[in-house]
Chains A and B, each alone.
Chain A
Amino acid sequence: MTPDNKISRIQELVYEIRIGEVMKRNVITISPQTNMSELRKILREKRISGAPVMDGDEMVGIISIEDFIKWLADREHDCPISEKMSKDVQTLYADEPLTQAVNKFERYGFGRFVVIDHQSRRLLGIITKGDIVEGLLKKLEVDHYKEEEEVYRRRVEHFFEDILADKVVLLFQYDVAGHDFKRAGEGASRLKASLKRLGLDPQVVRRVAIATYEAEMNMVIYTDGGKIRVRVEPHGIFVKVADSGPGIPDIQKVLQPGYSTAPEWVRNLGFGAGMGLNNILKCASKMDLKSVVGKGTQVYIRIDTKDGAMSETN
């Protein structure tokens, strides 16, 4: 994207975004009886540079750090804020586009504007130039992120178009370290991101990711580690999770919901509730579990692409 494009996007955004979306909602207000000498403490503690002055429900003025500095410079005696505040309060409506705010900041040179509701005229928020910049950056970042994903997707689509074959099979492998809770789940996370980029149905991607995550967790909790191998074919995804021991003595028992041999510290982390294999069963079109004590365990998971429409919950 050229710099010129960026500028026009910002120009577009100031018409697109409403003031209500970027203003700060938790407005700190000050009563007109507050003394000028107390103002500094309030502004510093609340980290604000100005505030609307409210007499009950009615907004009677606005006071800012500029007013405070002027009061200091003039070396006047202490007095209520109501004597030094600006009484002519310029307001903006929450449903106006951002460009209105930009114009008003330019015209008046104020540091902040009070935002009110168009109909009820009630105080809704306050907006500074900083809020506008933050709001614009936020939208631009979201745009940028979407663009990035789009680039990835297009790249993958081209990749498939370029391959000439009767059948294309993709293979992924993730190595999992045993007992490493810091990295636990990384394999499944990376797999999920990759499948998403392939443009697969989000529901299918989620099923594969959850089933793989649970199998990966079992490997991290109970074994010295192993490998996740994933084969992506047009009609389905095949996941094989294999470790090299210790193996499961009684497979029927571990398939019972709630059965777990997890140690206390693992349970305290919210794992080991005996739900993992059941979660895999729920997500999978077919699951197979093979284990030999002393040799290792293999979990085979198949998720058919046509099962995509089914929710992974229930």
Chain B
Amino acid sequence: MKLTELIQKLNLSVRSAKMHLDREVAGGYASDLLSDVLANSKEGDLWITLQIHQNIVGVASMKDLAGIILVNNREPEPETLEKAEIEKLPIMVTEMPTFELVGRLYSLGIVGTK
């Protein structure tokens, strides 16, 4: 499923890289530990986290993730957005907590393992 479709279906607000939402989402990974994401997420995954500092952009671009969704209405720090624009990495926010968001994603066909 395309990122644009998920954004519309889950009513996500896009905070960065608005011109780069065409990407296909391969799967999902939810974690707040950066090393865990580096170890276990896969290329094209959507990453669900509550971390908002700029290192999340580094981790996501290391792994070529499709984008990051911040939960619980958390807003990315200004430096995070700056980096995300440079890396052309979409960051989205939602008022949903992780459990709710992952459930919705799963029912839309975004799964964690292939």
Binding site for B on A (CB under 8 A): 25-26, 137-138, 141-142, 145, 181-182, 184-186, 188-189, 192, 202, 206, 209-210, 213-214, 217, 269-271, 273, 275-276, 278-279, 282, 311, 313
Contact = CB atoms under 8 A, between A and B. Distances in A.
A276 B19 CA distance: 33
6 contacts: A145-B88, A184-B55, A206-B62, A269-B53, A313-B40, A313-B42
Interface residues of B, number: 29
B51 interface: yes
B34 A270 contact: yes
A206 B88 CA distance: 17
Given A181-B53, A270-B34, A188 B62 contact: yes
Contacts of A210: 38, 62-63
Given A185-B55, A206-B63, A141 B39 contact: no
Contact of A273 (B36, B41, B58, B88): B36
A256 to B, nearest CB: 14
A276 B33 CA distance: 11
Given A206-B63, A209-B62, A182 B39 contact: no
B34 A271 contact: yes
A306 B38 CA distance: 21
A192 B38 CA distance: 14
B35 interface: yes
A295 B13 CA distance: 49
Contacts of B64: 202, 206
A282 B42 CA distance: 14
Most buried by B among A213, A270, A279: A270
8 closest A-B pairs by beta carbon, nearest first, are A185-B58, A275-B35, A270-B34, A273-B33, A270-B51, A279-B39, A209-B62, A138-B19
Interface in B48-105: 49, 51, 53-56, 58-59, 61-64, 79, 88
A169 to B, nearest CB: 25
B24 interface: no
A282 B36 CA distance: 12
B102 to A, nearest CB: 18
B70 to A, nearest CB: 13
Contacts of A271: 34-35, 55
Contacts of B107: none
Contacts of B19: 137-138, 141-142
A160 B59 CA distance: 31
Contact of B35 (A26, A188, A206, A214): A214
Given A210-B38, A279-B39, A142 B58 contact: no
A276 B22 contact: no
B58 A189 contact: yes
Given A138-B19, A273-B33, A214 B54 contact: no
A209 B63 CA distance: 9
